[in-house]
Structure 1
Amino acid sequence: MLYKLWRSFIKEILLLKRDIGGIVIIFVMPLLLIITITLIQDSTFKNLEGSKIPIIFIDNDKSEVSKSIKKELENSKTFQLLTDYNEKSAQEAVFSGEYQMSIVIPENLTKDLNSNIESKVQKIVSSFGLESDSAATLKPVLKAKEIHLYFDPATNSGFKSSVMNSVNKMVFEIENKKIYKAFQDQLGTTENLEENKNLISFKEITPKKGDTEILPNSVQHNVPAWTLFAIFFIVVPLSINLVKEKSQGTSVRARVSPTPYYIHILGKTFTYLIICIIQFLLMVAVGIYLFPYMDLPAFDVSGKMFHLIIVTLFAGLAAIGFGVLLGTIADTQEQSAPFGATSVVVLAAIGGIWVPVFLMPEFMQHVAKFSPMNWGLNAYYDIILRNSGIGNVAKELALLFLFYVAMVSVSIFYERKQNAV
């Protein structure tokens, strides 16, 4: 049995040697992908840190509140304020895509805000029976003022939400200070306003290794993601080789030989598992040794290598099972190659390789749970980013193995049914 398995393994190696171009693509394409995408993402992040986004700022108030908002925006180190516009020209410039956004502060914003706050505070003070000198002349509450925000129609919704939240926070803090100041004036207190800091603040707690914080970066996300994509891309050459065997009569000779069909499947499994491990080691080597020379963070696998190889083996099994099924069902290379490549891209999209699963619509988040790429990606992330052990990823490993067993079982059943006499 072992000898037959060995001969099947040798046969697969000989088949691969005849397609050197395909083997090069299997190894080189993922390396180019991981380098290009990681550079793009890391460079984009650094560019956002080092440069400012030009936005149009129109101050029709020219008073305390608008000056405070302008100061906060300038101090954010994110925006470069352009002020040589009126609201109409700003709207045209933004809607045409020349700039991403414009902020328009309305006239009399400070004056009307002060009047509204003063009127509301007087009502509250008088309701407690603390009549003030000006309580008899309460001013009517004016309509809420609107700060106009114009966004380029092509602007990312996440950017819009971030800016609107920032502006809301600035306005909220300004209003709070003014309300507190108004109560001070009404009650005649002299407490220093600057001493009243926020009673609640936020502090991010990150995992630590010793005294060093573990901060996820683009490399830690891209290396496992594109390793998984590379592993599943072996579906294409594997399915093509199976189709070739059918067209060249090799599968007929295999069926009439005393060697069971599952031995041929195991031979392919061991061969392509070796390819998966080589792909993984190449990707890790790029992350560890090449990325630092490209001004990228090094990929840290200290103490995790064995666990990552185990996940790679199970992810490889899932990819091989899918390739065997596709090659068994397809009749021509024209069927297997395009469908194999397209299905891998679809599985990658569903599984969270392209877009994080939590950003998908709720329906697609449920669909993602059925993608073998999502199982593999979660297992990689658990080990790399969450410092989990094999026991914590046992569920994902079991799903990947069951996927392999299911795919191979269907392939064997289909092959026997097609060739039943």
Structure 2
Amino acid sequence: MMYKFLMSVYKEMLLLKRDFGGLVILFVMPLVLIVTITLIQDSTFKSVNESRIPILLVDHDNGNISKTVKENLNESGSFEIVTKIDGATVTEASAKEAVFKGKYQLAIVIPEKLSADLQLKVNQNVGKIVSQLGLEDTTSVVKEKVVVKSKEVKLYFDPATQLTFKNAVKSAIDKMISQIETQSIYSTFQDQLGEGDEPIFEQESFITFKEIVPKVNDKEILPNSVQHNVPAWALFAIFFIVVPLSINIVKEKGQGTQIRLITNPVPYAVIIAGKTATYLMICMIQFFLMVAVGVYLFPYLGLPVLDVDGKLLLMSIVALFSGLAAIGFGILLGTIAKTQEQSAPFGATSVVILAAIGGVWVPVFAMPKIMQYVSHISPMNWGLNAFYDVLLRNGNIVEILPEINLLLLFFIITITIAIGYDKKKRAV
């Protein structure tokens, strides 16, 4: 039986050797893909200080509020304030035109007398409260109340801007204005009630937020584009083995090779074992090539290095079982398909769908609720979660066992169905 298995592996090697161009594509294309995607996505994982978005600012106020807004935008490190276009001072009309044409993502228009009118409104409200409390100066002259109209800070967004960016900017601007209003109220109360230099109100925020991230050796573990893309696209490459594997099985059926093998006789399980061993080696070579790119090539491209210290063994285990799941799916598809025209398009499309719902392209948490549940049926999602447990969550073998068991179960189920279908078909 061992001899038959080894001959089956040798036969698969010969088939792959004859299609050397296809074999090269299996290794080269995933490497090109992972480098390209990582370079494109790297800016989204960099700190905000490394990527500043130019925004137009039209300041009709020229007061404390506009000054504070400018300072906060500059200090955030996310934005670069632009007040001139081609040497001309930006107006609301020119800002609107530039943004709507896609030259800038955002324009902020601060209305006239915003600072003065806000202070006047605060003075009126504080004066009213002080008066009701009986704390006002009896010698003060009663002033005629001036009606202060509400002000509107206008935000112009590029129509192509994502909704998440819009919401983030609006939230940040609203927070800034709220802080300015609060400080104005405190200061006005201080002026009317306080005596001396010691402040009555503490204006520092009482509630603050602090992000707690995992640490190893007192060093924070911060995710980057490489840690996300290497495992994600390694899985995509591993599962794309489905296409050539299923095509080869269909070829064998069409050329009569499978019939000759069975008449030797060679059980179909041995044929499957030979294919599994051969293509599993290819999957692991793909994986190690991608890891090598992340460790050795990415630093020369200005990308973060992939840190695999103490993690390579667990990552290899995840890749191994992911490869088994991919091979099981490919063998099942090749066993059921009757022609290459059936296996190739279906195999490629199904892999793309599994990648899409598995979180390879879009993170699962960003998907609609129903798709978050659907993602759990994708083997790529199981493999990706296992990789993240190792790379980002500092997980051990026990913590990735659930995902590994799912991948192994998927392999066993697909292989069992393939063998059962083949026996039934031959019996007929």
CA drift of 1:236 comes to 0.8
Aligned partner of 1:363 in structure 2 is 370
**Which deviates more, 142-151 or 237-246?**
142-151
Give the 3 Å change call, closer, same or farther, for CA 281–194 of structure 1 in structure 2: farther
Residue type matched to 2:331 in 1? V
Q: What does 1:183-332 align with in structure 2 at a 5 Å threshold?
A: 183-189=189-195, 190-192=197-199, 196-332=203-339
What TM-score do the two structures reach when normalised by structure 2?
0.92
CA offsets 1:219-250 (integer angstroms, 9 cap, x no match)? 11111111111100100110010010111001
Any unmatched runs of 5+ in structure 1?
none
CA drift of 1:105 comes to 0.9
8 Å CA contact 2:9–2:274 kept in 1: the answer is: yes
8 Å CA contact 2:98–2:104 kept in 1: the answer is: yes
Structure 2 residue corresponding to 1:86, chosen from 80, 83, 91: 91
2:140 is aligned with 1:125 = no
Give the 3 Å change call, closer, same or farther, for CA 193–174 of structure 1 in structure 2: farther
Partner SS state of residue 229, structure 1: helix
Aligned partner of 2:178 in structure 1 is 172
8 Å CA contact 1:120–1:141 kept in 2: the answer is: no
CA offsets 1:240-284 (integer angstroms, 9 cap, x no match)? 100101110012223333322112111111111111111111111
2:373 is aligned with 1:372 = no
Between the aligned partners of 2:339 and 2:149, the Cα distance in structure 1 is 72
Between the aligned partners of 1:193 and 1:267, the Cα distance in structure 2 is 82
8 Å CA contact 1:74–1:81 kept in 2: the answer is: no
CA drift of 1:132 comes to 4.5
Residue type matched to 1:64 in 2? N
CA offsets 1:46-84 (integer angstroms, 9 cap, x no match)? 696446433221112222212221232234342232252
Aligned partner of 1:161 in structure 2 is 167
What TM-score do the two structures reach when normalised by structure 1?
0.93
CA offsets 1:319-378 (integer angstroms, 9 cap, x no match)? 011101111122221221122112111111111111111111111111111111000000
Aligned partner of 2:16 in structure 1 is 16
Partner SS state of residue 427, structure 2: coil
2:153 is aligned with 1:147 = yes
Residue type matched to 1:268 in 2? K
Residue type matched to 2:264 in 1? S
Any unmatched runs of 5+ in structure 2?
none
8 Å CA contact 2:183–2:203 kept in 1: the answer is: no
2:106 is aligned with 1:105 = no
Partner SS state of residue 282, structure 1: helix
Residue type matched to 2:351 in 1? V
Between the aligned partners of 1:362 and 1:324, the Cα distance in structure 2 is 32
8 Å CA contact 1:119–1:138 kept in 2: the answer is: no
CA drift of 1:138 comes to 7.8
CA drift of 1:92 comes to 2.1
Between the aligned partners of 2:141 and 2:424, the Cα distance in structure 1 is 93
Give the 3 Å change call, closer, same or farther, for CA 414–20 of structure 1 in structure 2: same
Between the aligned partners of 2:292 and 2:102, the Cα distance in structure 1 is 42
Give the 3 Å change call, closer, same or farther, for CA 326–125 of structure 1 in structure 2: same
CA offsets 1:6-53 (integer angstroms, 9 cap, x no match)? 222222112111111111111111111111222222256669644643
Between the aligned partners of 2:103 and 2:302, the Cα distance in structure 1 is 32
8 Å CA contact 1:119–1:141 kept in 2: the answer is: no
Give the 3 Å change call, closer, same or farther, for CA 281–126 of structure 1 in structure 2: same
Between the aligned partners of 2:327 and 2:363, the Cα distance in structure 1 is 25
Between the aligned partners of 1:384 and 1:51, the Cα distance in structure 2 is 25
Between the aligned partners of 2:417 and 2:262, the Cα distance in structure 1 is 17
Aligned partner of 1:70 in structure 2 is 70
8 Å CA contact 1:58–1:104 kept in 2: the answer is: yes
Let me know the Cα RMSD of the aligned residues.
2.2
8 Å CA contact 1:132–1:186 kept in 2: the answer is: no
CA offsets 1:110-145 (integer angstroms, 9 cap, x no match)? 122112212222333344443455696584774432
CA offsets 1:283-331 (integer angstroms, 9 cap, x no match)? 1111112222222222111111211111111101110111011111222
Between the aligned partners of 1:54 and 1:298, the Cα distance in structure 2 is 29
Partner SS state of residue 102, structure 1: strand
Between the aligned partners of 1:215 and 1:30, the Cα distance in structure 2 is 25
Aligned partner of 1:342 in structure 2 is 349
Aligned partner of 2:6 in structure 1 is 6
Residue type matched to 2:268 in 1? Y
Between the aligned partners of 1:132 and 1:114, the Cα distance in structure 2 is 20
Give the 3 Å change call, closer, same or farther, for CA 378–279 of structure 1 in structure 2: same
CA drift of 1:381 comes to 0.4
8 Å CA contact 2:57–2:81 kept in 1: the answer is: no
8 Å CA contact 1:122–1:135 kept in 2: the answer is: no
Between the aligned partners of 1:211 and 1:52, the Cα distance in structure 2 is 30
CA drift of 1:193 comes to 8.6
Q: How many residues align?
A: 421
Residue type matched to 2:115 in 1? T
2:420 is aligned with 1:419 = no
Residue type matched to 1:41 in 2? Q
Give the 3 Å change call, closer, same or farther, for CA 44–271 of structure 1 in structure 2: same
Residue type matched to 1:395 in 2? P
Give the 3 Å change call, closer, same or farther, for CA 268–138 of structure 1 in structure 2: farther
Between the aligned partners of 2:343 and 2:154, the Cα distance in structure 1 is 55
CA drift of 1:383 comes to 0.6
